[in-house]
Structure 1
Amino acid sequence: MDTAARGAFLHLLVLTSLLLLLASRAAAQPWQACGNTGKYTANSTYGSNLATLTKALPTNASRSGTLFATGTVGAIPNTVYALALCRGDINATACGSCVATGFQDAQQLCAYDKDAALYYNECYLRFSNENFLASTTNNDDPMILLNSQNVSSPVKVFDAAVHVLINATSDYAAANATRLFATGEEAFDTTDPTIYGLSQCTPDMSPANCRSCLGGIISLMPQFLSGSQGGRIIRMRCNFRYEVYSFFSGTPSLRLPVPFTAAAAPAPSPTPVNVTPTATPPAPGRSRNKTGVAVAIVVPIVAAVLAISTICICFLWKRRRSAREQTPCYGTNAPDIESIDSLLLDISTLRAATDNFAESNMLGEGGFGAVYKGVLPDGQEIAVKRLSQSSGQGIQELKTELAFVAKLQHRNLVRLVGVCLQEHEKLLVYEYMPNRSIDTILFDNEKSKELDWGKRVKIINGIARGLQYLHEDSQLKIIHRDLKASNVLLDSDYTPKISDFGLARLFGRDQSREVTNRVVGTYGYMAPEYAMRGHYSIKSDVFSFGILILEILTGRRSSGSINIEQSIDLLSIVWEHWTTGTIVEIMDPSLRGKAPAEQMLKCVHIGLLCVQDNPVDRPMMSTVNVMLSSGTVSLQAPLKPVFFIPNNGHYSTDYSEAYPVSRTTGDGKSGAFSVNEVSITELEPR
């Protein structure tokens, strides 16, 4: 490339950067509502309390798993109450950044007001000296924002379609017990081809209160949003939004068919959407102001400049490619990594956190590589999974874990902190679990005494809730396929968190079963239909959960903890004692006489229902949670489990793949053997 061309190229890059900066600043401007409950001074007690929340709330919101946080600091009359809620489709890092920006902008837009609310596209924030957190059913005056563009279709027809979509997403959100969030799209006609919608409540609301709150603001639509191409109504506890363009990320929670058809009209020529939100008049006692609107003309200019810049960059790259070392391509699809872009960590940060992956910081090692304990500069403890550079399968596990874990947020699933793909390293960074995995405590004669009845019930309930989220409540439908004691981690309060999604498989929402000719997982936890015929479904995970319940209650491994020559496994032992009425005899010795016998029998009963031979007979995880939490639900009699470990120590599948069932560790103890210790899966399309 000659000097003139290089100069033109650099000018294009500078112009692109300026336009992008302008667009981002315009789009980032909040809508604010500044209250009249009084002012505070910079050095006052109220100001100090607010500063404490300014530091804590962004972190709490990003780490909560629900992208939501509330906080209260100080004593009356200087108490500060605060609430932050992020849009349910963004990642934790973006959530924390948005909330932090809200506190910063409040100092400029509502300077020294004790009561302020700021609304962004990705989050909203309010703090006040009045206790608006007292009830989850309490709602502020609504903030109503609308798109200034009117619809091309008949207004009544369009409004009716929007009403159907928003009600559908509201019903779905209220039924999503974890996050109370849902997105949707609805086909329309040739003039307004698709409508996109979103509904959300704060996760501390009950489903009934959530639906009631959303119903209240939906009733305002005819008065304020009729005929508008887009709009939103926001209260502190719930909100909804709709547009004729996609404004959220990820796959919609639901898709609606064409319910209405307007009169046929020629398709308009493509033009950028001019979104000019307009707020409602200020409610009494609060001043509202829109300080910035995205400039529509920036969009096509930026698009054109980016296209030209991309062509130039590609031209330069092709010319110089042969003269430089190529960066390894990890082949992860764009949709898989969109949600983790902001989770990228620098290799130097992780080396410093782990003392350059010192052996003294190693927590464990497997076929995929090693896991190291580390401490980030902010003091957060982390576990760094360092995939082996020599493992050709490691990158597939990386892709799978990123694709799933980055999109899943639940208190009983391990949280992904970040990822590093520098200098040929493949590093996954998770929250650190000080009590490590269940098996390190449960199967140790001394450590198992730490697990009293209360802790064991807490662990069982937590695993059940995490599985229900994976199977039924998340936007994805995921089969874990390797649920076992070593893949359930415990935090400092013994809250269980399901980990290791390297073998997980993604199902369509209406898909019930899949067949594979490559059986992977851990014997002793595998459902018989999976090990024998390669059939797996959510009921395969239910079987594994049943085994886990029995392990937690008895303190015995599902395989390898008894003499294989006896040809008897854990299921056979439990069933024998269940039928003879002596089940208490095989409970963990530390529980005998210290745990309610009736509750132990109930848990064993549920475990046996989960391990029945026919998948149809096993309960759904939502049903299991009802059984665990209710004292009045009657349980049907379990059928005899027929799956056990043969006495030759091997199990052959229909595909003539034979694997040892147990192995002996260095200390002479027998432990469960994983068929494929390199956690890998084939990521398949939905």
Structure 2
Amino acid sequence: MWRSLQLQSTAKFILALRLSSILFLFLFLFSSHSSCHGYSVKAHIFTYAGCSQEKYQANAPFEGNLNSFLTSVISSSSQASYNSFAIGNGSSTPPEGTIYGLYQCRGDLKTTDCSKCIENCVNQISLVCPYSLGASLQLEGCYLRYEHIDFLNKLDTSLRYKKCSKAVSNDIEFFRRRDDVLSDLQAATGFRVSASGLVEGYAQCLGDLSAADCSSCLADAVGKLKTLCGSAAAADVFLAQCYARYWASGYYSSSSDSSREDRVGKSVAIIVGAVAGLAVLIVVLSFCRKAMG
């Protein structure tokens, strides 16, 4: 009798290990597919994120409103490339439960690509900024931000992210073309693409800015591109409510894109792997507990 119970326990334990192995394989394939799956213009590639130091407690009013906000964002992104929200700002909601937020896709994205990009934002922002009362996440093709204080329709040109390539040698023609592109981008009132010779670029303001504020924001962004990145062959500057970028044609070769995507893929894989590992551990311990009696 005891021998039989031992064999049954052993068989159950082996079954648990086999199931956990299958689950590990499934999660590995899923994370690999998620990190390698791409759609046009690679809009899902991570650029930067910002998280507030202030945190909210689980099951607090803010958490419920945040979930409502994220659900609304996903729904809205299938219809529009920009939208803003104010949730829980009525008299019945405590001030700490109020949430203000917005999302925006790059102006040249199709609606389907915009929606996919925003879904990626929504899926990542809680992992990158857990329990934060304020967070922002910029992917290559879209942007998502929320706060517990009202920031909508208020000009903010604070620097959020910059990236500068190696400097170009004394190429007078390049700098002339670059300045032509940046001058054109500075005049944008929404999303604008510009090119001059072998230099290309684009810029965009958030949808809540007026034309005057957009021009002011882009002037600041262009100024920072020149002062912070100097003679770089390619440069990106993201301010709180606008961004501007330029590059020499051919600079973003397939090899540099692949390298950048590999780094992002590894980062996502680490996050997914940690979550998956915890889930598998729980499953294995549950099976083992049942198997042992």
Indicate the TM-score class for this superposition, using the shorter chain for normalisation.
0.5 to 0.7
CA distance in 2, matches of 1:214, 1:128: 23
Equivalent in the alignment of 2:26: none
1:35 and 2:52 matched: yes
Is residue 256 of structure 2 the alignment partner of residue 274 of structure 1? yes
Give the one of 261, 284, 290 matched to 1:294: 261
Tell me which of the two structures has the higher relative contact order, counting C-alpha pairs closer than 8 angstroms and 6 or more residues apart.
2
The 1:239/1:139 distance shift into structure 2, 3 A limit, reads same
CA distance 1:130–1:82, shift in 2 (3 Å): same
Q: Specify every segment of 5 or more residues in structure 2 that has no aligned partner in the other structure, as ranges.
A: 1-31, 90-94, 266-293
One-letter amino acid of the structure 1 residue matched with residue 158 of structure 2: D
Q: 1:186 aligns with which of 178, 183, 196?
A: 196
Structure 1 residue ranges without an equivalent (≥5):
1-17, 175-179, 188-193, 249-270, 277-291, 299-686
Contact (CA 8 Å) 1:155, 1:227: kept in 2 or not?
no
* Structure 2 counterpart of 1:72: 86
- 1:199 pairs with 2:206: no
Q: How many residues align?
A: 225
Q: Say if 2:263 is the partner of 1:244.
A: no
Aligned partner of 1:94: which letter? D
Q: 1:47 aligns with which of 55, 63, 66?
A: 63
Deviation at 1:68, TM superposition (A): 0.9
Quick one: structure 1 residues 275 and 230, their matched pair in 2 at CA, closer, same or farther if it must change by over 3 Å? Answer: farther
- 1:352-384 Cα offsets, whole Å, 9 max, x none, are xxxxxxxxxxxxxxxxxxxxxxxxxxxxxxxxx
C-alpha RMSD of the superposition? 3.2
**Cα gap change, 1:246/1:89 in structure 2, threshold over 3 Å: closer, same or farther?**
farther
Q: Cα offset for 1:238?
A: 1.6
- Aligned-pair CA distance for 1:206: 2.6
Match for 2:88: what amino acid? G
Alpha carbons 2:65, 2:88 under 8 Å: kept = yes
- Partners of 1:169 and 1:149 in 2: how far apart? 22
Counterpart of 2:156 in structure 1 is 139
> Distance in 2 between the 1:207 and 1:239 partners?
15
TM-aligned CA distance change 1:222 to 1:125, over 3 Å = same
Taking the aligned partners of 1:273 and 1:170, their CA distance within structure 2 comes to 30
Q: Is the Cα contact below 8 Å between 2:46 and 2:140 reproduced in 1?
A: no
Partner of 2:23: none
Assess if the C-alpha contact under 8 Å between 1:102 and 1:118 holds in 2.
yes
Structure 1 stretches of 4+ with a deviation exceeding 3 A read 18-27, 147-150, 155-160, 245-248
Report 1:68-217 matches (<5 A).
68-75=82-89, 76-133=95-152, 135-136=153-154, 138-139=155-156, 141-151=158-168, 153-154=169-170, 158-171=174-187, 173-174=188-189, 180-187=190-197, 194-217=198-221
Distance, in Å, in 2 between the alignment partners of 1:197 and 1:272 is 18
Q: How does 1:582-621 map to 2 (within 5 A)?
A: none
Conservation of the 8 A alpha-carbon contact between 1:30 and 1:119 = yes
* Counterpart mapping for 1:654-665 below 5 A: none
Tell me, what secondary structure is at the counterpart of 1:32?
strand
Give the alignment of 1:378-393 within 5 angstroms.
none
| Residue 231 (structure 1) aligns with | 235
State the Cα distance separating 1:275 from its structure 2 match.
Answer: 5.8
Q: Percent identity?
A: 22
2:96 is paired with a residue of what secondary structure? coil
**Counterpart amino acid of 2:146?**
F
- Whether the aligned pair in 1 keeps the contact of 2:185 and 2:193 (CA below 8 Å) is yes
1:171-570 pair list within 5 angstroms: 171=187, 173-174=188-189, 180-187=190-197, 194-245=198-249, 272=254, 274=256, 293-295=260-262
**Gap change, CA 1:91 and 1:104, over 3 Å in 2:** same
CA distance in structure 1 between the partners assigned to 2:105 and 2:250 by the alignment:
18
Alignment CA distance shift 1:73-1:20 (3 Å): closer
Q: How far apart, CA to CA, are the structure 2 residues paired with 1:132 and 1:245?
A: 37
Change (3 A) 1:141 1:294: same
Kindly tell me: are residues 154 and 92 of structure 1, through their superposed partners in 2, closer, same or farther at Cα, counting changes over 3 Å? same
Structure in which a larger fraction of residues adopt helix: 2
- CA shift at 1:126, angstroms? 0.9
1:183-230 deviations in Å (ceiling 9; x for gaps)? 01110xxxxxx1111011123433222111111111112222222222
Q: Is the 2:43–2:142 contact (alpha carbons within 8 Å) kept by the matching residues of 1?
A: no
Aligned partner of residue 89 in structure 1, secondary structure: coil
